[in-house]
Amino acid sequence: MRIYEENQKLCAAYGNALLVVEAWGENSLRIRMTKEAEMDANDWALMDAPAPTNPQIRFEEIDLTEPWWYGEDRQKHAQSGTNAYLTNGKITAKLAFDGRLSFYNQDGKLLLEEYWRNRDRIDRYCVPLRVEGRELKPIVGTTDYRLVARFEAQEDERIYGMGQYQEHNLNKKGAIVELCHRNSQASVPFYLSTRGYGFLWNNPAVGTATFGTNKTEWVAESTKKLDYYITAGDTPAEIEAQYSLATGRTPMMPEYGLGFWQCKLRYRNQEELLNVVREHKRRGLPMDVIVIDFFHWTRQGDFRFEPRDWPDPAAMVKELKELGVELAVSVWPTIDEKSINFGEMADRGYLVRTDRASGFHMNWMGDTVFFDATHPGARKFVWERCKENYYDYGIRLFWLDEAEPEYGPYDFDVFRYHAGPALQCTNIYPKMYAKGFYDGLKSVGEGDVMSLVRCAWAGSQRYGVLTWSGDIHSSYRSMREQLQAGLSMGIAGIPWWTSDIGGFLGGDIKNPDFCELLVRWFAWGAFCPVFRLHGERSPFYEREQEFIDGVRQLTSGQDNEVWSFGNENYEILKEFLFIRERLRPYIRECMKDAHENGSPVMRPLFYDFPQDTACYDVEDAYMFGPDLLVAPVFEANAVTREVYLPAGAFWVEAKTGKRYEGGQTVTATASLNTIPVFTRNGKEFDIYQK
């Protein structure tokens, strides 16, 4: 192995492999490895111009003449070796003479080290298993590789982040995580370790991450290179700030994003939607956004209103703006074979291709193909159609649905993009989908851009992505799972996040049990980054099937307005609408912090109180910004719930005004009209008006 310095990078060449370690922003490193003639040039999640630093590289000669277990012959071939070190601020990479990488903080504490089990190691790992820390194995008959990267497991380590998964545990230690997107699953492969570092798997390939007790293992099923980023810091906030600079900060949230969003499946025509907004305003209720959901078009891929049901979009938008309400419109990436745009998009190569099997990707409400969001021309084409048919009417907020994309089935080895085989790059799709609209809106002079997107990948945040958690079930279990999903997304660098209040699937507005769940979820929603009511609300209205030009029209679910769930519940929901309004100045400051410093808006307790070890065990409460501790209620018929209050502060219960010292568990008031909220160090909030 030849270890050398080149352009302030630490390099190792061995066989046909090249390993490169380089500084990548403050206290951070990027590690790449290839077996190709040239390193793949994709930066993927990372910004292509990191802030310059002054890394220090040194070499250390070491003596290898100590006797060891398989005889004197070895000593004839290796009498000395060279270890190399690259230090960038608070992080140091050690590249041992035998090729093994390890990482340390400024105090010399080991953060992370590769997992090797070869007999050629001159250390405690000298065993004949022939397991390597990093493997790029050619896929026979192709020019691609299967990648495995292995790291030593540390018993004292907890792992947080990795994006959105429908599961219970916030701490991912012991978990196997699928590195691909599905409806309600968003793979954002960055984690925060309690050992004082953050790690980004900078690879959009389909694979897995296993955080075992014996080792950590990352797998990419098809790729061209190994690529990851590691950053060190003294606090979670410092690590998140550095990571968010490397992948891009979120814009400042537009003012309309701070308030209440009204949505349902689905408003079927212009007058129905306008009547809902008029009634909201007649009742004196706040509303910032109303959403027109899917199938307001004639065919998927038309990217325009069906004129029968939406006869005058310009007049509709004008009235909404006069009422102070922003309109969001759903856009799907599916192109029906009978769409007015299908032929042109197919001819120009703007559609996702299939290597085999049927050329159609979904057959729900039409035979459709996804447009190729990795193709710059396809992104521009879709934006231009949406500009003509939506933006030019005054619509600047888009709901980018089906953004995984939701293949049926998820056979990633079948599909191929402009950027390469889906196995290698499909996880980049939602980011590029959002980029098309971000670039388009910027090109026409929009300032702070925001898009509601049903998926995200690392770096999506820089394109103004608000992710929501997909088509989740209406149950307390699902509500509880959304809390860890939102917290994990925040740690993974996606600060704008929300869920469908009440869940999407299975909620019957005539069922008292569901109405109680919805009230609990609504109360929690008032303390989420975005406050949005949505759901299909079973059962669907019974209507005869309708057709326009031979195309079946989708019906809609039951009512989903705040007055739809009974008078007593309405009064509670109404109060939380105004609680959100009273919190607006505080939320605006939280969004500014996310924009300027990369801070998650909702985050686990340990983020603000890393010295309180008990906070790492709390997975059912969180900090909403730096000064509010929120403890949602996840069970029916509750009147109280236990809440741990972090040490290092005193806490005031918003409902009762009681003061508590931190470092203890208390019993909080949790009647149906109350979500337990505690203010830090007595900061004044007018949450529950006395």
Q: Which amino acid is at 66?
A: E
Q: Tell me whether domains 2-247 and 604-680 share a fold.
A: yes
Active site residues: 401, 404, 471
The three-class DSSP label of residue 296 is: coil
CA distance 595 to 251: 5
Question: Whose CA is closest to 468, among 450, 483, 484, 486?
Answer: 486
Q: Worst-scoring range by mean pLDDT, 180-184, 441-445, 684-688? A: 684-688
- The mean pLDDT of 635-654, rounded to a whole number, is 98
Q: Worst-scoring range by mean pLDDT, 86-90, 356-360, 573-577? A: 356-360
Residues 6+ apart with CB under 8 A from 490: 497, 600, 601, 602, 603
The three-class DSSP label of residue 72 is: helix
Q: What is the pLDDT of residue 18?
A: 97
Q: What value does the mean pLDDT of the chain take?
A: 94
The answer on pLDDT for 75 being more than 60 is no
CB 190 within 8 A of CB 162: yes
Q: Which amino acid is at 214?
A: N
pLDDT single digits (tens) 33-73? 999 999 999 999 999 888 899 999 999 998 776 544 444 44
- The mean pLDDT of 540-553, rounded to a whole number, is 72
Q: What is the pLDDT of residue 49?
A: 82
The answer on pLDDT for 543 being more than 70 is no
Q: What is the pLDDT of residue 65?
A: 62
The answer on pLDDT for 79 being more than 70 is no
pLDDT single digits (tens) 291-349? 999 999 989 999 999 999 999 999 999 999 999 999 999 999 999 999 999 999 999 99
- Reply yes or no on domain 2-247 having CATH 2.60.40.1760: yes
Q: What is the pLDDT of residue 551?
A: 77
CB 130 within 8 A of CB 118: yes
Reported confidence tier of residue 450, pLDDT bands at 50, 70, 90: very high
Predicted TM-score (pTM) of the model is: 0.96
Q: What's the distance, CA 303 to chain centroid?
A: 26
Task: Look at the domain 255-333+372-407+421-596 and name its fold.
Answer: TIM Barrel (3.20.20)
Q: Please identify, in words, the CATH class of the domain defined by 604-680.
A: mainly beta
- The mean pLDDT of 640-650, rounded to a whole number, is 98
Q: Which amino acid is at 131?
A: V
Reported confidence tier of residue 670, pLDDT bands at 50, 70, 90: very high
Q: What is the pLDDT of residue 76?
A: 45
What percent of the chain has pLDDT above 90?
A: 88
Q: Tell me phi and psi for residue 525, to 5 degrees.
A: -55, -30
The three-class DSSP label of residue 549 is: coil
Domain limits of the chain? 2-247, 255-333+372-407+421-596, 604-680
* Helical packing angle, 567-582 and 512-525, nearest 10°: 10
- The mean pLDDT of 348-367, rounded to a whole number, is 88
Whole-Å CA distances, 382 to 113, 385, 551: 45, 5, 22
Q: Tell me phi and psi for residue 366, to 5 degrees.
A: 140, 160
Q: What is the pLDDT of residue 639?
A: 97
Q: What is the pLDDT of residue 550?
A: 78
Q: What is the pLDDT of residue 70?
A: 45
Higher pLDDT, 551 or 30: 30
DSSP for residue 596? H
The three-class DSSP label of residue 510 is: coil
Question: Whose CA is closest to 601, among 546, 542, 687, 530?
Answer: 530
Reported confidence tier of residue 553, pLDDT bands at 50, 70, 90: confident
CB 479 within 8 A of CB 521: yes
- The mean pLDDT of 130-138, rounded to a whole number, is 95
Q: What is the pLDDT of residue 544?
A: 59
pLDDT single digits (tens) 393-429? 999 999 999 999 999 889 999 999 999 999 999 999 9
CA distance 4 to 308: 69
The three-class DSSP label of residue 226 is: strand
**Cβ neighbourhood burial of 455 (10 Å; 0-12, 13-18, 19+):** buried
